Amino acid sequence: MNCPRPIRGILALLVLLGGPPVVAADNTHALIVDLYVNHQQMGEAFVLQNEDGDFYVDQSALLYWEIAKPWPQPEVFLGENYFGLHEFAGTKAELNTRTMELRVSMPADLMPTRRRSLQHTGMEAQVEQYGAFMDYEINLQNQGTALGSAAYGMFRPVVFGPQGNVAANLVYQNQANGPAGHVSILELTYTRDDPERMRSLRVGDVFTVPGEQSRSLRIGGVQLATNFSTQPSLITHPLPDFFGQTEVPSALDIYVNGRLSRRENVQPGSFLLEDVPVLNGAGQMQVVATDALGRQQIFTQDFYLSTDLLMEGLSDYSLTLGALREDFGLANFRYGDIAGSATWRYGWSDDLTIESHGEFTNGLVMAGGSLQYGIDSGGTVSAGLGISNGSAGTGVRWQLGFRRVASLMTLNVQASGSSDRFDLVGDLQQTPKLQLLTAVGKNFYDFGSLQVSMVHQDFHDRDKRTIWGLDFSTRIFGPLAISSYVSYLDSKESDLSAGVRFFMNFGDRHSASGNISNSRFGSAASARFQKGMPTESGYGYHLAAGKSDSNYVDAGFNTQSQFGIYSLDVRNSEAGGTAWQAGTRGSVAYMAGLTRFSRQIQDAFAVVKVGDIEGVRVYSENIEIGRTNENGQIFVPGLRPYLKNQLRIEVDDLPLSARIGETERSAAPFYKSGIVVNFDVHVSTNVVFRAVLPDGSPLPEGSIARVFHTGDRFPVGMDGKLFLQGIDRSSEVSIRWNGTTCDIDIPYPTGSAVITKMGDIVCEPRKGQ
């Protein structure tokens, strides 16, 4: 918006040279001013002022300020279009003739709308090489003289690489008084995630994604499905937007339900905060805009968020084809009838999500659909219908519901029913003829919370039943929390049960809990005191006592190191005598040439390498994991897949001669995989010596030494003294002066000295010089 054209340059030059102002025939003056728009400095600018004191700017200025159209009719000056600032409604312009500052104030609605998305962004996930790991849990137990001893374990081996992972879930059982040791293969699945398309391909044992009218199935086959967890920073449900205006640059403090959530800076004009992260349910959002002078504007907006809805335009699908899994946990790889399932959900708008579902197997087909709608007053209404056709005939299932979550009160009402011929794939029981669910919760804040619920079920082939429940929780005396419940079963055999539970936290991982209950089956009481294990290496224990069928006393101790968790539990009861159980759980992993036992990896891990330096502490999310081995490596288990995991090394553990590139790095591994994280740390040595010629005379002062493998150059000082920095291996050095060059082979120094003194070293001149 400065004056780029030649005519403006000439006018500006005349003004700067101190001549009289340029005057048009209509007494319009051309001025050069320091321009401020809504307190923002725009730099030096060329403007016009008429005899009435009104100011005009050209089209380029309005474009630069992003002023919304329509604009007023322009005035022509020297063949160019100029627009009067006074013709923009609500605009004021004041000129300080002493400083030649023109300060313009424009309403916010003339300025552009600044859009700002508040969704968090993730980082690209990485899987670079092949590896394997296995989480395990092994227990040995003695259950007294009657039952004898037993051993069992759970093993979850995984092999991974750039093409995906193969994971299994195995269970081993061996009882002294039972059959010989038996291994059950619960699951064996190949998975390949595609974070870019947010989907996963699975081959092997999979779970189907049920619709509102169905249930999840175990199928051995192929599945292609949306996987939002590959982009965990993406929020799939609709988030509220916030609109406001400010005439000057401002800092925004964003409060959600009275708590500060974010801080943002915005430029003058309208601002639109998109996808503001809030909690599920009803609430209120406040935005406090503070300008440079401390003046504040407060904007308030109510919202209702439902995680049952999908964001507009977002779809979620699952397609599965295979055979139904049979005798799960009893027989390996036993499959029955061919079956298939398909589910698709779509965010028609931010208020409406639709769903369709279908499934089939031999002699049975079921199809259904549902919708969830967010109402303006706050809450979600749902409705669904399913139809099945099989050997028993055609059946129908319907469903209606309403759900509202708020800080003061929550309400959930669900009703569903089905005809006697409605059937689902893999379902061995009939769905209820009528089912009603009602739950109301009230938050009294400092006085606690109360929830009342009712579940009524009416069946086609057995007695109906109704369950009433009441639960009250409160916190008293600071760390002491108490909850009580009453439950009544109204059926052929009625039952009234009640109980009280308490929990008290003593700090430093110490806590106590207890329970007292009574029902038609008898009364029970228990108490427990424990010290939890720390997130780092350490130990924990518990002591417990109780009475149900018989009195018992229980004690346990567990300890955690970087290699795993080890536990021992002993129980003595009147009915079973003394029993004990000893166990361990952890992982063994291989990657990047390193095999290591560690704590349970679960979802992902990293191999951190800190040069070749031993004993460096490594932290994951500021929790110490352990120290590097003799090769500078360490396993870091328990990383979160597809999310930024902050890894850090301890600078104080590095030698003084170390070259440090970075001390913190982020890693985002794939699910069920590992990643190598290299910290750019090199140990180098500084050396000082006296460079002499074969006759013993020192090299001339000012000669230049060049290290071949790094290219670094160093000057020779008085008496041939030469200091070289960053020598990390045996090095060849050439020294040049006055057209002469000589060479030195410097051996790699040993020892821990920061600067190694090497005495005299002879520099042999090159032949032919």
Q: What are 496-533's pLDDT values in tens digits?
A: 999 999 999 887 889 999 999 998 888 999 999 999 98
CA-atom Rg of the chain in angstroms: 38
pLDDT of 280 reads 60
Counting every residue, how long is the chain? 769
Q: How many CA atoms lie within 13 A of 458 on its CB side?
A: 10
Does the pLDDT of residue 262 top 50, yes or no?
A: yes
Whether residue 55 contacts residue 48, with contact meaning beta carbons closer than 8 Å, is answered with yes
Rounded mean pLDDT, 73-94? 82
Tokens of 139: 């227990």
Cα distances from 417 to residues 85, 395, 454, in angstroms, run 68, 11, 16
Given this model, what pLDDT does residue 117 score? 55
* Spatial distance between the Cα atoms of 314 and 319, rounded to a whole number of angstroms: 17
Q: Could you report how far apart the first and last alpha carbons of the chain are, in Å?
A: 64
Mean pLDDT of 437-450: 88
**Identity of the residue numbered 348:** W
401-407, Cβ contacts within 8 angstroms, sequence gap of 24 or more: 403/306, 403/308, 403/379, 404/281, 404/282, 404/378, 404/379, 404/380, 405/280, 405/281, 405/282, 405/306, 406/281, 406/282, 406/283, 406/378, 407/257, 407/281, 407/282, 407/283, 407/443
Q: In the structure encoding, which two tokens stand for residue 145, read together?
A: 């003289």
Residue 754 pLDDT exceeds 60: yes
For residue 710, the 8-state DSSP code is: T
pLDDT-derived band at 355, boundaries 50, 70, 90:
very high
Residue 587's pLDDT is what? 93
Asked if the model's pLDDT at residue 720 lies above 60, the reply is yes
Residue 552 backbone class (left: φ over 0; alpha: ψ -120 to 50; beta: rest) = beta
User: HSE on the CB side for 26, CA within 13 Å?
Assistant: 10
Q: Are 583 and 602 in contact (CB under 8 A)?
A: no
- Per-residue pLDDT at 343 exceeds 90: yes
pLDDT at residue 681 greater than cutoff 80: yes
Residue 238 pLDDT exceeds 80: no
User: For 397-414, what is the mean pLDDT?
Assistant: 88
- Calpha distance 601→704 (Å, rounded): 54
Helix (H) or strand (E) holding 286: strand 281-291
Q: What Cα–Cα distance (Å) separates residue 550 from each residue in 128, 144, 370, 575? A: 56, 15, 50, 6
The alpha helices in 111-165, defined as continuous H runs, are: none
pLDDT: which is higher, 295 or 31: 31
In whole angstroms, what is the distance from residue 330 CA to residue 480 CA?
45
So what's the pLDDT on residue 397?
Answer: 94
> Residue 34: which of 81, 111, 92, 95 has the closest Cα?
95
Instruction: Name the residue type at position 451.
Output: Q
Residue with tokens 């087909």: 365
394: tokens are 């055609």
CB-based contacts of 760, cutoff 8 Å, min separation 6: 689, 690, 692, 696
Give the mean pLDDT of 189-210.
93
Contact 213, 197 (CB under 8 A): no
Q: Which residue has the tokens 């440090």?
A: 660
Question: b or e along 92-107 (b: 16 or more beta carbons within 10 Å of the residue's beta carbon)?
Answer: ebebeeeeeebbbbbb
Mean pLDDT to the nearest integer, 287-300: 74
pLDDT at 399 over 80: yes
| Distance set, CA 53 to CA 2, 29, 84, 542 (Å) | 21, 10, 11, 85
User: Residue 508 has what pLDDT?
Assistant: 80
Using omega within 30 degrees of 0 as the cis cutoff, is the peptide bond preceding 70 cis?
yes
Q: Is the pLDDT of residue 120 over 70?
A: no
Q: How far apart are CA 100 and CA 98, in angstroms?
A: 6
Phi and psi, residue 85, nearest 5° = -65, -30
Give the pLDDT confidence score for residue 535 in this predicted structure.
Answer: 79
- The per-residue pLDDT for 589 is 92
Identify the band that residue 10 occupies on the pLDDT scale cut at 50, 70 and 90: very low
Contact indicator for 671, 191 with CB cutoff of 8 Å: yes
Provide the residue type at 62 as one letter.
L
Burial grade of 6 (CB within 10 A; 0-12, 13-18, 19 or more): exposed
- For residue 594, is pLDDT > 90? no
Which H or E run contains 62? helix 59-65
Retrieve residue 472's tokens.
Answer: 């009250």
From 548, 551, 554, select the one nearest 574 (Cα to Cα). Answer: 551
Bin 109: left if φ > 0, else alpha if -120 < ψ < 50, else beta. Answer: alpha
SS3 63: helix
Q: Are 769 and 741 in contact (CB under 8 A)?
A: yes
Distance separating alpha carbons of residues 24 and 27, to the nearest angstrom: 5
For residue 628, CA distances in Å to 220, 593, 634 come to 42, 15, 5
Check whether 435 has a pLDDT greater than 70: yes
Does pLDDT of 354 surpass 90?
yes
Q: How far apart are CA 67 and CA 61, in angstroms?
A: 9
Distance CA 423, CA 184 (A): 30
Closest CA to 252 of 231, 233, 272, 280: 272
Q: CB 601: neighbour CB atoms within 10 A?
A: 25
Q: Strands 551-561, 101-105: parallel, antiparallel or unpaired by DSSP?
A: unpaired
Helix (H, G, I), strand (E, B) or coil at 13: helix
Least confident of 293-307, 425-439, 601-615: 293-307
| pLDDT score of 279 | 61
**Using an 8 Å Cβ cutoff, are 473 and 485 in contact?**
no
pLDDT value at residue 358: 94
pLDDT at site 179: 63
